[in-house]
Structure 1
Amino acid sequence: MKHVSILPLFDATLTSIDSSHQILTRVNDFMRYQQRQPFYEVEIVGATKNIELGAGLYKVSANKTISEIDKTDLVVLPLLCGDFAKAIQKNNVYTQWLTRQYHNKAEIVCLCVGSFFLASTGLLDKKKCAVHWAAKNEFRTMFPEVSIIDDSIITDENGIYTCGGGYSYLNLLLYIIEKHLGREISVLVSKMFEIDIERKSQNPFMIFVGQKNHGDEIVLNAQHLIENNPTQSYTIDEICLKLGVGRRTFERKFKKCTGNSVAEYIQRVKVEFAKKHLEAGRKTVNEIIYETGYNDIDAFRKVFKKITDLSPIDYRKKYAV
């Protein structure tokens, strides 16, 4: 059996703790139905036996404390909600124990923005991490040594698993179950809990917010110019002329500060403009595309699908108000 330690971190959401406990425990029932041995021994493992969550709204009783667990096989870090810097400080009590367990071959399953705490331990340095789109800019600022992945909801690297997107942690749990026990059990869990096993990306849910906490005035002015004029088709040379800067240096600084090339940034702003109008549902798809400044409808459709994983028509069907 694999011993699973679910850590009730400070500012963790009760749902992510309980869901992890329920799903992994239920796997054992499915194994018994198939006349197989239980696979997971699941425990809540806290810094103390009694933990308050949700500013005292909930109380969790741990099965054991970290001082009682010398070795575990799988550590689940739940989703955090609140002030990440404060949560990191409060959860520092787990850092040494978590690091020791990882170096002792334990796998770490990190649910969504629990990654802020995991990154603070240094275990994610030089590794890939999926981060919720709304927290990506803050995460990049705090942990520049971590490689953010935003085209997939799950990363799997050297025994550390992360996911981006609030309830996408359910898909990460399915992924772990499949890795340990095979596709058949994972599909069974997805059916019993009614989880969409094929969800692979955050892109359809993402709202683009440019990174602006970089302190570069020229880049910030360029961002404002692009964002305030989503219907304009500025070339990079035109932007440089307006700002009075050289193209080569500007492009390099823009990429470094925002994480996007200038062309990518323009595309994302235009796609965000189109999404809002598609959600409103009053204009035709072609009218909206022309308003973004694109004359080539097919070209914009390709850009839109690349960024959202949906065609403009499918996006409207999914999100029209």
Structure 2
Amino acid sequence: MYQFAILAYPGCLQSAVLGLQDVLGYAATVSDNTVTVDVVSVFEIGKHSYDAVILPPSAAEVEAKDVPELAGFIAHQHGEGALVCSACTGATFVAEAGLAQGRALTTHWGLEQRLTSRYPDVVFDTDQLLIEYGDLVTAGGLMAWIDLSLAVIERFLGYAVAARTAGYFVVDMRRRDQRRFRRFSPQMRHGDAVILKTQHLIEAQYADASNVSDIARASGLPSRTFLRRFKLATGLTPNAYLQELRIERARDLLIETDKSISEICFVVGYQDPPSFARLFARLTGLSPGAFRKHFARQRL
């Protein structure tokens, strides 16, 4: 069973709130999973835990100080393992909650200068329509809630349900198609707060994590205890988890950029391109070059 919350903060677009309800609700009807979609106002914020919390856009500028409860709520949900999602102005609350952790966010291009001034430590990449991490998804303009909803559907309910939903509403899957035939969607709602904190750290610093010992030290647990609890919580060893995450990022870079395979190898944290290529092929079934040739979108 999955539970999603649409956070209807003051000033958010009601059309987006209703649209998110409709799109996610339809996906729930064609999925084999039980899904509930709640619209939650700031006056109804409680301690209930969700699998995903979604911040819709607003047609007007928003200030986090005007809704002081919201940043704390999404930080709490993130700390409980929820996927935090924002469209357009919703990125304001993501930045306020401190969830970027050195990672790029996207928002409406017209907001970039103001948000950069307000949050100088956050990188905003408004060239991107959608930026996804294991714990965080941000989308660009006012209508990007459509892409965001499909991202949430694919993440939890699978590509087939997302494609069927897009077809029903006659909307373009855009970059959300079978190119991402294999997703790394780590388990985060396992209830182990120490391991979840470590997962968030790996998400933010995956390219710099040199070995399991460094990760274990960051957890504050004895090494053997950390290894046991990490495997129990995530289903993977820390090394396998880090490999999956790095290869997931490499897939994105192969599809979305013109960087060479060697450059991508270094960007995601590996120093030996041949070893990187072998690992990529083992986890995806294709060499990096074959993956790019088969899946990369055509550029004008």
TM-score, normalised to structure 2's length?
Answer: 0.56
Cα separation, 2, equivalents of 1:42 and 1:91:
22
Aligned equivalents of 1:132, 1:42: Cα separation in 2: 25
1:139 aligns to what SS in structure 2? Answer: helix
Match of 2:27 in 1: 27
The alpha-carbon deviation at position 12 of structure 1 amounts to 0.5
| Counterpart Cα distance in 1 of 2:107 and 2:79 | 23
* CA displacement at 1:18 relative to structure 2: 0.9
Q: Which residue, out of 42, 49, 52, partners 2:37?
A: 42
Q: CA deviation at 1:141?
A: 1.3
SS in 2 for 1:66: coil
CA contact (8 A) 1:109 1:160 kept: yes
Any conservation in 1 of the 2:105–2:123 contact (CA below 8 Å)? yes
The one-letter code of the counterpart of 1:134 is: G
For the pair 1:169 / 2:132, whether they are aligned, the reply is no
CA displacement 1:129-176 (0-9 Å, x = unmatched): 012112111121111211212332111124110011221220121122
How far apart in 2 are the matches of 1:160 and 1:7? Answer: 15
- Comparing both chains, which one has the higher relative contact order based on Cα–Cα distances under 8 Å and sequence gaps of 6 or more? 2
Q: Is the 8 A contact 2:58 2:142 kept in 1?
A: no
1:109 equivalent in structure 2: 85
Q: Aligned equivalents of 1:30 and 1:197: distance in 2?
A: 17
Distance 1:167 1:176 in 2: 15
Aligned to 1:71: 49
In 2: Cα distance, 1:91 partner to 1:143 partner: 17
Partner of 1:137: 113
Of residues 67, 81, 87 in structure 1, which corresponds to 2:59?
Answer: 81
Residue 124 of structure 1 pairs with residue 100 of structure 2: yes
**Do the aligned partners of 2:87 and 2:107 also contact (CA within 8 Å) in 1?**
no
Q: Which amino acid aligns with 2:36?
A: E
Local SS of the residue matching 2:172: coil
Tell whether the 8 Å contact from 2:59 to 2:142 is kept in structure 1 after alignment: no
Q: Equivalent residues in 2 for 1:119-268 (5 A)?
A: 119-198=95-174
Match of 2:14 in 1: 14
1:75/1:107 contact within 8 Å kept: yes
Instruction: Return the offset for 1:8.
Output: 0.8
Structure with higher Rg: it is: 1
Deviations 1:285-314 (A, max 9, x none): xxxxxxxxxxxxxxxxxxxxxxxx975xxx
The gaps in structure 2 that reach 5 residues or longer are 177-297
Q: CA deviation at 1:89?
A: 1.6
Separation (CA, whole Å) in 1 of partners of 2:42 and 2:126: 32
Q: Deviations over 1:208-267 (max 9, x none)?
A: xxxxxxxxxxxxxxxxxxxxxxxxxxxxxxxxxxxxxxxxxxxxxxxxxxxxxxxxxxxx
Percent of residue pairs identical: 20
Q: For the structure 1 residues 83 and 198, does the alpha-carbon distance in structure 2 shift closer, same or farther, using more than 3 Å as the test?
A: closer
SS at match of 1:7: strand
Alpha-carbon distance in 1 for matches of 2:56, 2:107? 14
Q: Which sits farther off after the overlay, 88-97 or 9-18?
A: 88-97
Deviation at 1:81, TM superposition (A): 2.6
1:75 and 1:108 in contact (8 A); partners too = yes
Indicate conservation of the 8 Å contact 1:155/1:162, yes or no: yes
Q: Which amino acid aligns with 1:71?
A: S
Distance 2:33 2:105 in 1: 33
Q: Is the 8 A contact 1:171 1:195 kept in 2?
A: no
Please say if residues 70 and 93 of structure 2, whose CA atoms lie closer than 8 Å, have aligned partners that are also in contact: no
Q: Aligned partners of 1:174, 1:80: CA distance in 2, in Å?
A: 19
- Alignment match, 2:276: none
Could you tell me which amino acid in structure 1 is paired with residue 60 of structure 2? Answer: G
The SS at the match of 1:84 is coil
Across the two proteins, how many residue pairs are aligned to each other?
A: 179
What do you get for the CA RMSD once the two structures are aligned?
A: 1.9
Partner deviation per Cα, 1:49-83 (whole Å, 9 max, x = no partner)? xxxxxxxxxxxxxxxx212x431211011102323
CA distance in 2, matches of 1:133, 1:199: 19
Question: How far apart, CA to CA, are the structure 2 residues paired with 1:6 and 1:172?
Answer: 12
Pairwise CA distance, 1:94: 2.0
CA–CA separation in structure 1 for the residues paired with 2:138 and 2:98: 14
Structure 1 CA distance for aligned equivalents of residues 146 and 82 of structure 2? 20
Match in the other structure for 1:91: 67
**Are 1:91 and 1:117, in contact at CA under 8 Å, matched by a contact in 2?**
no
